[in-house]
Amino acid sequence: MKFDLEFIDVAKAAKLLRLSPQRVRVLLAKGRLQGVCLASAGGRAIWRVHASLIRRPAKPGRPATKRRTAAAVNGGSEAKP
């Protein structure tokens, strides 16, 4: 059985996905983009992205703010002072 995976560097993946290299690294670190982290060089991780460039979906919508989260916990309405 042949196990042949192709990997590309972060800069090329960023260009193909139309994202910044920093955003690609964040997606890799969060597990939303398939890739592998090689040994760190000088405190910076060296990432290689799988050539398929498959992005895992995230939760839709905006993250809840502290105010909305507090309102949900307190019964849905906030008393104004």
Sequence ranges of the domains in the chain? 1-54
What tokens does 15 get? 């260009």
Cα 17 to chain centroid distance, Å, stands at 13
Site of tokens 């997606």: 27
pTM of the predicted structure, to 2 decimals: 0.59
The reported pLDDT for the residue numbered 22 is 93
CA distance between the termini of the chain: 69
pLDDT digits (tens, 9 = 90+) for 41-81: 677 788 888 888 877 666 777 777 777 556 666 665 555 55
